[in-house]
Amino acid sequence: MRLIQNIGLVLLRAGIVLCQVRQPAISIDSAEIKSGTPLDGFLSYSIEFASFPDFAGNKSSPNKFSDNLLDNIGYLQGDKPYIRVGGNTQDYAIYNANLTVGLNGTVNVTRSPDYPTTIEIGPSFFESYSTWPNVKFSHGFNMGGNHDSRIQDTLTQTAELACKALGTDKLYVWEYGNEADLFATSAQGPVRASSYNESDYVNEWLDGVAVIKSVFRKNCPGLASIDTYKYMAPSFGGVANHLKAPIAWAAGLDNTENIKYFSSHNYISGAATPGVTLQGTLMNHTRTRLSVEAHVDEYNAVHPGEDVPHIMGEANSLYNQGRPGLSNAFGAALWGVDFALYCAALGIRRVHMHMGTDYRYASWQPIETPLASRGTKAPYYGNIAIAHLPLTGGDTEAAYAAYVGGSLKRVMIINMNAYNYTNTNTSSGGSSSMHAVDCGCDGSGGQSSPSPPPPRPARAYSFFVGGGTTTARVQRLYANGSDAITGITWDGWNYNYELDEGRPVRLANVTVGETVQVQNGTLNITVPDSQAVMVTLGVSDETLNRPARKRRT
């Protein structure tokens, strides 16, 4: 992919009165535009190892709700998400051949209240890899060991079961160890001595992947070739932890040339970190930019080469599974759009959004539990575009452009200025309304309130996109406000479990089919605070009501 040169950009900053704007013109030089070319399945998922049976089900009871949601994403981006099965709990999982259930876990709240830290898996765990058609998986092998003497037997036994369960058709890549840079310092309990260093890690990693390959040669020879025996690594938890990726790479991590993807993990901040807010932390483009760029700098320091592209193997908003009211709010969906697209713009070629059962930042809750109802959550509504166009709005605004065959096709504008509807005397019932005639700016969806809320501010943007005069399609990622956790739509489509098990349902009370005219090559669009808008250039009338995805028959 390449960027068209000399693209003009003008930002029209809004005043505080609804739909009244002032218009300082700001020119953006094409040299400031960042670009990247995503891999297929760019928006993908990482599922906590201990939660995978909940998300996927098993042969006798597959989780159709999860598969419907994966189908939706696959239809929109052309490929179903790639699924990484891993996380902290992959390094706690010990194999028990006599276990009659897929996974048996014990939660120790002093180590983690959100997932089990003593885990056994049985043969039926691997059935979960058979429940989602047309999905490729990575399986995470236990490297940490959790101070269990059965770790070596577990590695050889699970290697055989995993290779037979995945085969060549379902295999994405393998992973050995999760966030080994935290093995000596983990808040859930260290599993290595404080003296553990990059050379120790590399020696251990090379020994382990050699064991796994020997098992494959015996049981799955088709997966032991130089073309199929590949990993994502190093899967470190950050750029400033106990181990450093550039040092590990220099110590020979890829000496056997079996690393297919350089995998980074990223969280913008922590769930318990003081001062974390929607506006200051998640709906803050500067925070996202600095966080992502630190990983790009690390990758460039390693310089593994074009044959080892950079991916986010695990990412989400706030580590420690997110904070209620922040990670499950619509503002987190806007953050997810900005984060994923900025990753793409900087050359991070696939992003796996992490989730687990009862996790506050999860895109969906796969099953009913005492802590959460099964359902689609706000982050699911975040979507995809490609190349970054930096706006002058600083922390709270960003725009991205997608190019197809060298021509500008789509523009995504993300207005991350917070509109907190629960503090403006609006009510939260039902799905929100949006009317193109008043810029979609009312923010008054749901039941009427005793007194009207203040107007929802909107900001006007103008882009020189070339091409003379044409029609552009407008699709909005919408909710009552940045703190909404329900009533969210993408282009009028709702994916809630309650409506049709996560299949797309078009809501009658949301205006759709909105278009704008690109006049003399200039696109003008108004975006309310706490909303994202996708503009597709050069559309025909036949495409305006294209379904969210084809239904399976």
Question: What does the alpha-carbon distance between residue 550 and residue 122 come to, in Å, rounded to a whole number?
Answer: 36
Instruction: Identify the burial level of 100 via C-beta atoms within 10 angstroms of its C-beta, where 0-12 means exposed, 13-18 middle and 19 or more buried.
Output: exposed
* Residue 519 pLDDT exceeds 70: yes
**Strands of 522-528's sheet, edge to edge?**
9-11, 458-464, 522-528
Any residues with CB less than 8 A from the CB of 362 and at least 6 apart, and which? 322, 328, 355, 356, 377, 379
Structure tokens at 472: 């552009």
Does residue 73 have a pLDDT over 80? yes
Tokens (6 digits) for 513: 């089919």
DSSP 8-state class, residue 279: I
User: How confident is the model over 30-34, as a mean pLDDT?
Assistant: 55
Backbone angles phi, psi at 147, to 5 degrees: 60, 30
Average pLDDT over residues 201-225: 98
Q: Could you tell me which residues are beta bridge partners of residue 347?
A: none
pLDDT for the residue 52: 98
Least confident stretch, 122-131, 286-295, 341-350: 341-350
* pLDDT value for 395: 82
Q: What is the pLDDT of residue 76?
A: 82
Fold held by 43-383: TIM Barrel (3.20.20)
153 has a pLDDT exceeding 90? yes
Which value, to the nearest 10 degrees, does the dihedral of the CA atoms of residues 180, 191, 196, 315 take? 20
- The neighbour count for residue 159, using CB atoms within 10 Å, is 25
CATH code matching the domain that covers 9-33+388-543, chosen among 3.40.640.10, 2.60.120.10, 3.40.50.300, 2.60.40.1180: 2.60.40.1180
Residue 92 has pLDDT above 70, yes or no: yes
Q: How far is the C-alpha of 420 from the C-alpha of 373, rounded, in Å?
A: 24
Which is it for strands 458-464 and 522-528: parallel, antiparallel or unpaired? antiparallel
Mean pLDDT in residue range 42-50: 96
Active site residues: 198, 314
Q: Judge residue 170's burial from the number of C-beta atoms within 10 Å of its C-beta, 0-12 exposed, 13-18 middle, 19 or more buried.
A: middle
Sequence length of the chain is: 553
Task: Flag whether pLDDT at 367 surpasses 90.
Answer: yes
Least confident interval from 251-260, 315-324, 361-370, 455-464:
455-464
Predicted confidence at residue 383, as pLDDT, reads 37
The candidate with the shortest Cα–Cα distance to 313, out of 199, 208, 236, 367, is: 236
Overall average pLDDT of the 2-19 stretch: 25
**C-alpha to C-alpha distances, 537 to 106, 303, 400, nearest whole angstrom:** 53, 37, 14
What pLDDT band is residue 13 in, cutting at 50, 70 and 90? very low
| Mean pLDDT across 178-202 | 97
At 228-241, the pLDDT tens digits run 999 999 999 999 99
Mean pLDDT check: name the lowest of 130-139, 352-361, 539-548: 539-548
Contacts of range 244-250, beta carbons closer than 8 Å, 24 or more positions apart: 244/181, 244/198, 245/181, 245/298, 245/302, 246/298, 246/301, 246/302, 247/198, 248/198, 248/201, 248/202, 249/302, 249/304
What pLDDT does residue 543 have? 56
Question: Could you give phi then psi for residue 48, rounded to 5 degrees?
Answer: -55, 130
Whole-Å CA distances, 110 to 48, 178, 190, 401 = 19, 21, 14, 46
User: Which residues does residue 263 pair with via DSSP β-bridges, in sequence order?
Assistant: 234, 311
pLDDT band at 466 (very low <50, low <70, confident <90, very high): confident
Within the chain, what is the greatest distance between any pair of CA atoms?
72
Cα separation, 40 vs 428, in Å, equals: 37
**Token representation of residue 203:** 């020696």
Check whether 509 has a pLDDT greater than 80.
yes
Query: Where exactly are the structural domains of the chain?
Result: 9-33+388-543, 43-383
Of 26-40, 189-203, 422-436, 485-499, highest mean pLDDT = 189-203
Q: When comparing pLDDT for 384 and 100, which is higher?
A: 100
